[in-house]
Structure 1
Amino acid sequence: IMGMEAGALLGNMHSFWGSGAMLDPTDLTLGVPLPTFDDARAAGGTIIVNSHGDRFVNEAQPYHDFAHAFGEFDATTIDFPNEIAWMVFDEGVRSRKQILSFKPGDPIPDWVATGETIAELAEQLGIDPEHLTETVAEFNKHAADGVDPHFDRPRGMTGSKIRPVDRGPYYAVRIYPGTLGTNGGLRTDVNGQVRRARGGVIEGLYAAGNAAASPLGWGYPGGGTTLWTGMTMAYVAGEQVAHSRTPVGVA
């Protein structure tokens, strides 16, 4: 707000860095249930579908890119079709992969839906059983050959795999769009100096890190993205101030 009052130009105010998140309502380690990032979505034997029973994303995409699939807007139905989503997995995954606090061999918790068939599981999720069965069958047909013509899985996270979802019983866990933080702020030039909304720069005002709009926009090349912008641009800005002939205050 102080920057705006000084006439600063803002950027990236509509974007964020995100990830898919799951929630175990019984995990009160920190006092309240907290959304958790889990890499099980990239394991062989899983798919992610929306409330219509459609796949809508490469399950093995890097976490930030994955999160943006939830924001797809359907202008025809005037809604966000991927707002509600489920990670569907089979017995093969359950027997070898821990999902949140749900470990192989554990009793099935209440927050995990289950069904002996895909159709039974669909009924538990409120999804059309016939359509979800078709979606899984289409995925399995190609996964058996290690390919995914629709979303190009397993390209994505290191160690990601693809195999059919075909070992009953079947399970599902709700997956949510999660956020790591926003990336908007004051627009700066290559020297870290804040740009003025009406052109030029604001004399003596610099910004770096999370106070500044990320120069990458909504792009997120990997963990630590905010650190390099903070350290590098703070250093650059400091160099500019140190060599400035005009004394400036520090806020």
Structure 2
Amino acid sequence: MSRRQVSVNRVRSAPDQLLRRLFRVSRPQPEAPPPPGALRIATYNVHKCVGTDNRFDPDRIATVIRELDADVLALQEADRRFGRREGLLDTTALERDTGLRMVPLAMAAGGHGWHGNALLVRNGRMVEAYRLRLPGGEPRGATLVELEMAGGARLRVMTAHLGLLRRHRAQQVAALLERLAEADDTPTLLLGDLNEWRPGQRSSLRALERDFGPVDRGPPTFPSRLPILSLDRILCRPTGLLSGLAAHETPLARIASDHLPLTARLDLATARPEAMAEAA
């Protein structure tokens, strides 16, 4: 390699290095083999199926969902925003191709979720589901779903798409924690686009740390073409059940939405035996 080539490579890599320093982006680490029986978890803001090329294409989103091979998948912006709030995906085809079934959360016929939040599950059964209204200056909602997975394991999944303003996100986090305050020790996931990229004391998610552990760590997922912000989260209580947290960065995922999907592995077998017994 010539001196000129070395110089050009350094110049090309400089912006990427600067962005990583500014936003504390860590380089992805090799994923360890998942424990036997672990569930694959994913969350994906599908941006109403409009890609970074401004094309509306639900088939691309469906293809990315097939790539994810998830057992539990939370979607944000899965419905039309106005009018009848109809769902944007072919759920019959998705179930046929992936085994994922949509949890019935929509208020309107033909909708996928609640305020755009949808939940799909493979090899699991809904026990109870709740629609939660969140405070703030714009309509926002969250969902809380109690599941029974294959083999009888219990799992609670809360999905959310938090607001754009920090003070509203802080209020919404407080509302989510209040809803969970009286819940039992069933392993609980919090999934979604939490819209927070600030680390440390400036983060609107700090109150979650008591239950869910550190909230600053996470692969960048936005914008999908050059991800530098960790807007999407997969959190779990009790801590220690998640592994292999990673952004799903494939050529199609970079185009299909303005967010990359976020994935992780959940090992319910490592949950405390007394907690699992209480939840059964």
Global fold match (TM > 0.5): no
Structure with higher helix content: 2
Structure with higher strand content: 2
Q: Whose RCO is larger (CA < 8 A, sep 6+)?
A: 1
Q: Which has the larger radius of gyration?
A: 1
Normalising by structure 2, what TM-score?
0.22
